[in-house]
Amino acid sequence: MIAIGNDHTGYELKQAILEYLDSKGLEYKDFGCGKVNSSDYPDYAKAVGRAIQNKECDKGILICGTGIGISIAANKMKGIRAALCHDCFSAEATRLHNDANVLALGARVIGIGHALKIVETFLGTEFSGEERHIKRIQMLED
């Protein structure tokens, strides 16, 4: 189950991602926001982070204008590893190496087509499970 959240800048990209997830038969929970003029990105980072913390969802996608604010907010939460990725190499590497559980995107930074390829790469890549990466991820929590 994928948790998805966005601020006002990310609504359009979020809708495109939801269509993509629907087309792939992937289940998600939408934590907002809807089409509004202004909103606060930490609210949506926290909602998605909590859904992962309580195991309601196993992965998350967060969108704000740059992807920066919303990833900073998510990364303050225990057990959340949010990766801001604007290329497929990073999206693949962060799953393989960091077992990132949240993908952050900047709706004002990349186009929708590119963002969808990044989502596909992120969701389609398993953690490598290699010992050195497990150790380093554990060090993030210590």
The residues of the shown chain that bind ligand RB5, judged by CB under 6 A, are: 7, 9, 41, 64-66, 68-69
Catalytic site residue from 33, 57, 64, 85: 64
With 0-12 / 13-18 / 19 or more C-beta atoms within 10 angstroms meaning exposed / middle / buried, residue 80 is buried
Residue 40 or 99 having the CB closest to ligand RB5 = 40
DSSP H or E segment with residue 31: none
- Nearest approach in angstroms of CB 96 to ligand RB5 is 26
67 labeled binding residue? yes
97 is catalytic: yes
86 is catalytic: no
Residue 9 or 101 having the CB closest to ligand RB5 = 9
Interacting residues of 31 by C-beta distance below 8 A, sequence separation 6+:
3, 4, 5, 44, 47, 48, 51
Which position's Cβ is nearest ligand RB5? 69
Strand 59-64 versus strand 82-84 pairing type: unpaired
Interacting residues of 50 by C-beta distance below 8 A, sequence separation 6+:
77
Residue 41 or 122 having the CB closest to ligand RB5 = 41
68 labeled binding residue? yes
Active site residues: 64, 97
